[in-house]
Amino acid sequence: MVRTPADALDAAALRRWCSACVDALDYYCEEIDGLNVYPIPDGDTGTNLLMTLRGSADLLRRELPSGTAQTAAVMARGALLGARGNSGVIVSQILRGLAEAFAVAPTPPGGDAVAEGLARAVVLAYDAVAEPVEGTVLTVARAAAEAAKGAGTDELSAVVSAAAAAAAEALALTPGQLPALARAGVVDAGGRGLVVLLDALVGVVTGSPAVLHPPARPPKDTRALQRARESGSAEFGYEVQYLLSAESSAVQTMRAALAGLGDSLVVVGSGDGLWRVHVHVNDVGAAIEAGVRAGRPEGITVTRFDDQIEAERVDEWVGRAAVAVAPGEGLGDLFEAEGVHVVHGGASSNPSTAEVLTAIQQTGAAQVVVLPNHGNVTGVADAAAAQAREGGQDVAVVPTRSPVQGLAAVAVADPARRFADDVIAMAEAAAATRWAEVTIAVRDSMTSVGRCRAGDALGLADGDVVLIGESVGQVACDLVDRLLIAGGELATVIVGVDAPPGLAGELAAHLKRAHPTVEVVVYHGGQPHYPLLLGIE
């Protein structure tokens, strides 16, 4: 095959580079996977980078862009859509930096534009990482950008060659910057992947085969590294990733929430409201819920770092189960009818950590989902789950804030799915259920909608008072009308022990009259203090 040098990166050269990246990463994938010890020794960086660049290649084939700027933009967007893992997300930002520089550069762009693009890429990559660490792909990218700028020429081959050489030199120094790399006797896996991509670019620009650096040294103790990889993180057990459509302001709030849940947080955007989110956590449900509050997450994936040792746990714990906190006898019966283990308690009688832990352990299950069903119980559920994990059970807390959300989660549970996928489905179903409550004020007080007096009926939506009235029935009807403004197909009505006679019938008749297309399901939950619980799906 005849290779043609490229004096500038036109659209055809960018497509050749994308193809060369996929081929090179496919070739080096196993080697890069074997280097993976930071931040989690899970052995998948090569695979993640390959899938990320395949995302670029796939989108190029589908959209067939014309022109350098458009082609670069499609490559960057495809990488963001296909990004896997920390390094994949960061590499997607490197491509975005190049695309942004090419959008304002002379056409087709030369060495100066590449240098500007790499400089922009480094800014984006560092901004994307909540806690940047040197000795990683970030360090290698910065060295490449500085060398490209320092080349002092617009000659494309000189710029990309300088960048690739500097990246290789920076990669060789990474073991001296991260103790985990030094102990394993390896260079950074993400940095190695970036060197492969830059070598592929040199090959396209010069018309020569990509420069093949000697394979990185294998770990000094491959057995020790394998043990570490199988056990995953000692602190955070899950990798959660998803695409998110959201406004920038909401993303900043979400980012702060995720930073409090775990580490290895990376949030990057495409510039048009689409974001790629990556984080390591223990509370998968909370990580997903943070995305739901910010916008519309999709393509959710969850990886459990210690999946490889699951077989070792089967001897002690077997199967899958769910534990739910229920504030009333009727609600307890509803959950038990679905095979859920029940802890009695709720808003006015919070169960203890020990009670929830005992329920988790008594399931005898290797995998357990916990449904706290009230915000005041979530912390207790998290603490119990952490203790159960120490005993060998895999426990996920889906942060349900109302029994109606818990019932929605149980309705979609499927033991035939992978546990992580089942947790995702339950969390999504819970988050998609709007919930509300009707209660009676026990004293005069100031609320967000004005002053209430003891004995007034209060309507609460998502935990906040939104309605005050004299009649429980009228407040209930007004509350359900408010919830259905955003639409809905199913209304779940749970009647409490203190509900006035005929309340369920009154509300059902109102729904039939005012919202005839909405299906209504009524349960007698027997919960105290809340004559009515409502859920809209």
Residues 6+ apart with CB under 8 A from 231: 305, 306, 309
Pairing of strands 262-269, 274-281: antiparallel
d(CA 174, CA 87): 15
Which of 389, 335, 331, 337 is closest to 360 using CA atoms? Answer: 389
Which of 95, 84, 93 is closest to 36 using CA atoms? Answer: 84
pLDDT category of residue 348 using cuts at 50, 70 and 90: low
Predicted confidence at residue 43, as pLDDT, reads 55
For the segment 298-343, what is each residue's pLDDT rounded down to a tens digit? 888 887 776 534 433 444 688 999 999 998 888 989 899 889 999 9
Which of 291, 280, 288, 266 is closest to 237 using CA atoms? Answer: 280
Global pTM?
A: 0.53
Residues 6+ apart with CB under 8 A from 67: 11, 107
Q: Which domains does the chain have, with CATH numbers?
A: 11-231 (1.25.40.340), 232-309 (3.30.70.260), 314-426 (3.40.50.510), 434-536 (3.30.1180.10)
For the segment 201-231, what is each residue's pLDDT rounded down to a tens digit? 999 999 876 555 544 444 444 333 333 333 3
Dihedral sign, Cα of residue 338, residue 341, residue 343, residue 346: negative
d(CA 216, CA 34): 10
Write the DSSP string, 404-461: HHHHHHHHH--TTS-HHHHHHHHHHHHHT-EEEEEEE-SS-EEETTEEE-TT-EEEEE
CB 87 within 8 A of CB 29: no
Q: In the chain, how many H helices and how many E strands?
A: 20, 16
**Taking residues 426-441, what's their average pLDDT?**
92
CB 365 within 8 A of CB 340: no
For the segment 122-137, what is each residue's pLDDT rounded down to a tens digit? 999 888 887 888 888 9
Which of 525, 405, 81, 407 is closest to 274 using CA atoms? Answer: 81
- Token readout for 70 is 């458009």
CB 317 within 8 A of CB 364: yes
Predicted confidence at residue 183, as pLDDT, reads 67
For the segment 83-105, what is each residue's pLDDT rounded down to a tens digit? 877 788 889 999 999 999 999 99
DSSP letter (8 states) at residue 345: -
358 CB neighbour count, 10 Å cutoff: 15
d(CA 112, CA 156): 8
d(CA 173, CA 179): 12
145-149, 346-350, 378-382, 445-449, range with the lowest pLDDT:
346-350
CB 275 within 8 A of CB 269: yes
DSSP letter (8 states) at residue 238: E
Whose tokens are 């695309």? That residue is 99
d(CA 360, CA 366): 10
Write the DSSP string, 159-195: HHHHHHHHHHHHHHHGGGT-HHHHHHT---HHHHHHH
369 pLDDT higher than 90: yes
For the segment 231-248, what is each residue's pLDDT rounded down to a tens digit? 334 578 888 889 899 998
Query: Helices marked H in 64-188 — which ranges?
Result: 68-82, 85-104, 111-128, 137-150, 156-173, 179-184
- Token readout for 462 is 């998502």
CB 219 within 8 A of CB 185: yes
